[in-house]
């Protein structure tokens, strides 16, 4: 029987572990090169057209509401896109910061100086003085605030005192302002108060996005996609990198209104290119910026081999159609029509492969092997980049297998003036102050100790069984002797909720640990506005730790002190 042999494409197939021979395409003689070109179809004419243009139609629906917290029954709040999602979700009310209060007070004095009201500097400093911390607890803040005392008023106190009277068209009674200067003083104070309120992005009273039990943020956004309420939920946002894959789809409720626009994009279809891409023609010399023949992959390196196969075989099959979409929108593509060189129009359907997808949102309750996806493209109102300051607070969540405990180690906490207090250095100074004057000797008497000393900044996390196989970690406390007896050591930072109960899910303290920080974030938004807020991050830790905790010990005691 006659047979017809044809090739649609020739793919390299490496039978060994070395991929270089199949990718190098070594040339032995010109006839072999011509045969190779014939094999891959370069000499074969096809009755087919090349895409030259495409038209896409769809609808982009903007986000209209957001919900702080993971509870789906919590009321939604309007969202107009004036804030990036990171600032909206992460913002929290800063702790009293004396340095920031002094700097905002200095700005008030600058505005008064520009208005010719310099002589009110001393009354302002006397009415709203800057507090000074104890030198031994925060020496850096003590030096700075001592320097600023009498030179600038406390901006926080001034804002609280001026807000109500300025709204009523008056001034606080504590400020002796001459009647002739009242109008100019109110104008300068109003300008300063507007600047003060926009300096730091602060949350509303009902915003609770940080989940202490998970040490992560939880929130959701809502829109109407083609008239259907849709909710996009981000239940595990931790690292400051917010993108479409941070969200999952949940059936939505009615939103306040429907805000969207039709999308129509017509453009020339440009082939996708990237630096180092293999040449389209077999005989064409390449620029050697990327040597695909030098790729090394073991049999289990599937990702690397797939990337090499895409680059060398399928890379020239992709075309690019640029489409401008509004930031903070959920887009549904209704049709894609491609026009080729023969003028024929082809309606391209979406790929419906259950095992492959790109930029498709999964359902919130989808488990392993669940193939439910939403054919929507989500462009979240998120930042590309932002500036992150040095953490003002840092807690290391770690496990101590020797003591059979988990610990929350406060490495740094925020000082009165916004700086960092090193808890380890603080503990070392306390130990040095109470250390004996001489080294222990064999002649010193022995004393029984129930347990060894643990650093002050090590906070125990004690296991508690809620149900068989379900354990949570509850914050405990190490007791310290005081002149009046003993008292538990409370954490000094905000992350561990001093004065409140704190419980963590056991999986939030893995074997490699986790690091949780609070730091200042700064970014500019699409409308040119700048935003400053205080946010939190959770990142991988540094493995297990050892507290040195031991029980039932005999220790040498100094004769002169014990």
pLDDT digits (tens, 9 = 90+) for 364-395: 665 555 556 777 889 999 998 889 999 999 99
Residue 335, classed as helix, strand or coil, is strand
Which range (40-54, 69-83, 372-386) has the least confidence? 40-54
CA angle 9, 14, 15 (to 5 degrees): 130
Q: What pLDDT score was predicted for residue 561? A: 45
* 532 vs 45: which has the higher pLDDT: 532
Average pLDDT in the 226-239 region?
86
Please report where in the chains the tokens 């077999």 appear, as a residue. Answer: 282
Give me 235's structure tokens: 């239940």
**φ and ψ of 254, to 5 deg:** -65, 135
400-431 pLDDT tens trace: 988 888 999 999 999 888 888 899 988 888 87
Q: What pLDDT score was predicted for residue 384? A: 84
Q: What pLDDT score was predicted for residue 560? A: 46
Q: What pLDDT score was predicted for residue 306? A: 82
Q: What pLDDT score was predicted for residue 133? A: 63
Q: What DSSP designation does 17 have? A: S
Instruction: State yes or no: pLDDT of 244 exceeds 50.
Output: yes
Q: What pLDDT score was predicted for residue 479? A: 81
Instruction: State yes or no: pLDDT of 134 exceeds 80.
Output: no
Q: What pLDDT score was predicted for residue 137? A: 63
Average pLDDT in the 22-43 region?
70
* 549 vs 268: which has the higher pLDDT: 268
Residue 80 to residues 65, 152, 192, 221, 466, Cα–Cα distance (Å): 8, 37, 26, 11, 42
321-375 pLDDT tens trace: 888 999 999 998 999 999 998 889 999 988 777 666 778 888 766 555 555 677 7
Please report where in the chains the tokens 């709203």 appear, as a residue. Answer: 128
List, in sequence order, every beta strand (DSSP E) within 155-292: 210-211, 216-225, 228-237, 248-251, 260-268, 270-271
Instruction: State yes or no: pLDDT of 484 exceeds 90.
Output: no
Average pLDDT in the 491-520 region?
92
- Rounded to whole angstroms, the Cα distance separating 422 from 412 reads 5
34-44 pLDDT tens trace: 777 777 677 77
Q: What pLDDT score was predicted for residue 417? A: 80
435-468 pLDDT tens trace: 665 566 666 677 777 777 888 899 999 999 888 8
146-170 pLDDT tens trace: 888 888 999 999 999 999 999 999 9
Half-sphere exposure of 361 (CA within 13 A, CB side): 26
- Cβ atoms of 28 and 17 within 8 Å: the answer is no
Q: What pLDDT score was predicted for residue 489? A: 85
Contacts of 509 (CB under 8 A, 6+ apart): 397, 398, 399, 406, 461, 473
205-221 pLDDT tens trace: 778 899 999 999 999 99
Q: What pLDDT score was predicted for residue 347? A: 94
Helix residue ranges per DSSP H, 322-435: 423-434
Strand partners, 400: 405
Contacts of 440 (CB under 8 A, 6+ apart): 556, 558
The secondary element (H helix, E strand) that includes residue 186 is helix 182-199
Contacts of 253 (CB under 8 A, 6+ apart): 76, 222, 229, 231
281-328 pLDDT tens trace: 766 777 767 777 677 888 788 888 888 877 777 777 788 888 899 999
* Closest C-alpha among 345, 326, 349 to residue 263: 326
The secondary element (H helix, E strand) that includes residue 165 is helix 155-167
Instruction: State yes or no: pLDDT of 21 exceeds 50.
Output: yes
The secondary element (H helix, E strand) that includes residue 110 is helix 98-114
- Rounded to whole angstroms, the Cα distance separating 562 from 447 reads 9
Q: What pLDDT score was predicted for residue 304? A: 84
Q: What pLDDT score was predicted for residue 69? A: 86
- Cβ atoms of 223 and 251 within 8 Å: the answer is no
Contacts of 551 (CB under 8 A, 6+ apart): 450, 451, 452
Q: What pLDDT score was predicted for residue 20? A: 67
Instruction: State yes or no: pLDDT of 432 exceeds 90.
Output: no
Q: What's the chain's average pLDDT? A: 83
- Rounded to whole angstroms, the Cα distance separating 269 from 42 reads 22
**φ and ψ of 246, to 5 deg:** -75, -10
């Amino acid at each position: 029987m006659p047979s017809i042999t044809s090739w649609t494409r020739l793919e390299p197939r490496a039978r060994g572990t070395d991929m270089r021979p199949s990718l190098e395409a070594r040339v032995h003689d010109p006839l072999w090169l011509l045969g190779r070109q014939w094999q891959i179809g370069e000499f074969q004419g096809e009755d087919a057209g090349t895409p030259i243009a495409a038209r896409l139609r769809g609808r982009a629906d903007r986000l209209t509401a957001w919900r702080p917290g993971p509870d789906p029954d919590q009321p939604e709040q309007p969202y107009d896109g004036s804030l990036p999602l990171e600032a909206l979700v992460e913002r929290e009310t800063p702790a009293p910061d004396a340095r920031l209060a002094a700097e905002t007070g200095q700005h008030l004095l600058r505005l008064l100086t520009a208005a010719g009201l310099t002589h009110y500097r001393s009354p302002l400093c006397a009415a709203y003085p800057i507090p000074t911390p104890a030198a031994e607890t925060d020496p850096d803040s003590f030096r700075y605030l001592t320097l600023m005392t009498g030179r600038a008023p406390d901006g926080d106190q001034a804002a609280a005192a001026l807000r109500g009277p300025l709204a009523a068209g008056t001034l606080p009674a504590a400020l002796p302002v001459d009647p002739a200067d009242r109008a100019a003083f109110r104008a300068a104070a109003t300008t300063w108060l507007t600047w003060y309120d926009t300096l730091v992005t602060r949350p509303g009273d009902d915003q609770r996005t940080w989940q202490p039990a998970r040490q992560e943020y939880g929130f959701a956004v809502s829109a109407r996609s083609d008239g259907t309420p849709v909710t996009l939920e981000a239940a595990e946002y931790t690292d400051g990198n917010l993108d479409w894959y941070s969200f999952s789809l949940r059936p939505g409720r009615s939103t306040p209104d429907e805000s969207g626009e039709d999308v129509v994009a017509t453009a020339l279809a440009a082939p996708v290119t990237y630096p180092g891409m293999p040449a389209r023609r077999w005989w064409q010399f390449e620029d050697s910026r990327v040597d695909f023949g030098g790729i090394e992959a073991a049999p289990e390196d599937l990702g690397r081999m797939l990337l090499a196969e895409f680059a060398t075989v399928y890379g020239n099959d992709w075309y690019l159609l640029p489409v401008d979409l509004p930031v903070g929108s959920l887009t549904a593509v209704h049709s894609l029509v491609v026009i080729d060189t023969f003028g024929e129009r082809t309606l391209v359907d979406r790929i419906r492969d259950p095992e492959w997808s790109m930029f498709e949102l999964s359902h919130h309750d989808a488990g392993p092997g669940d193939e439910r996806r939403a054919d929507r493209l989500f462009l979240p109102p998120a930042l590309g980049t932002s500036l992150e300051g040095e953490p003002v607070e840092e807690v290391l969540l770690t496990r101590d297998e020797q003591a059979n405990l988990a610990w929350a180690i406060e490495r740094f906490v925020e000082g009165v003036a916004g700086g960092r207090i090193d808890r380890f250095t603080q503990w070392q100074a306390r130990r040095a102050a109470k250390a004996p004057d001489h080294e222990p000797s064999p002649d010193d008497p022995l004393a029984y100790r129930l347990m060894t000393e643990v650093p002050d900044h090590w906070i125990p996390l004690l296991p508690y069984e809620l149900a068989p196989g379900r354990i949570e970690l509850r914050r405990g406390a190490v007791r310290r002797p005081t002149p009046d007896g003993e008292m538990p050591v409370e954490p000094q930072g905000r992350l561990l909720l001093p004065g409140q109960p704190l419980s963590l899910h056991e999986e939030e303290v893995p074997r490699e640990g986790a690091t949780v920080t609070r730091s200042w974030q700064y970014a500019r938004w699409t409308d040119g506005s700048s935003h400053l807020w205080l946010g939190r991050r959770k990142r991988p830790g540094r493995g297990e730790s050892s507290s040195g905790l031991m029980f039932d010990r005999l220790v040498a005691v100094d004769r002169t002190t014990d």
